[in-house]
Amino acid sequence: MTHHQGQYYTGTLDTLSKIIRAEGSRVLWSGLTPALCVSIPTVVIYFTSYMKAKQLLGYNERSPNPILPVIAGLY
């Protein structure tokens, strides 16, 4: 096993250019689909629950109570 002296990457742009050169640009997006498959349903569930909690607490857009959205976000 060999040990390299110094830094292999010198910054963000250097890292991106080396990855693209070595593996292609498609590899930068390879984890996007699994990440979206997890995050989109989570966000939908959160916002649906948040809006329902605001509704159950009696939040009114015409005369808003500033504390109700905070309480709804805690659910």
pLDDT in tens, 54-71: 888 888 878 878 888 888
Could you report the per-residue pLDDT of 12-69, keeping only the tens digit for each?
999 999 999 999 999 999 999 999 999 999 999 999 998 898 888 888 878 878 888 8
**Which pLDDT does position 63 carry in this prediction?**
80
What are the backbone dihedrals phi and psi of residue 34, each rounded to the nearest 5 degrees, phi first? -60, -35
Tell me what the pLDDT averaged over the chain comes to.
86
pTM value surpassing 0.75: no
Query: According to the model, what pLDDT value does residue 1 have?
Result: 47
d(CA 43, CA 28) in angstroms, rounded, equals 24
What is the distance between the alpha carbons of residues 45 and 75, in angstroms, rounded to a whole number? Answer: 12
The residue behind tokens 């890292």 is: 15
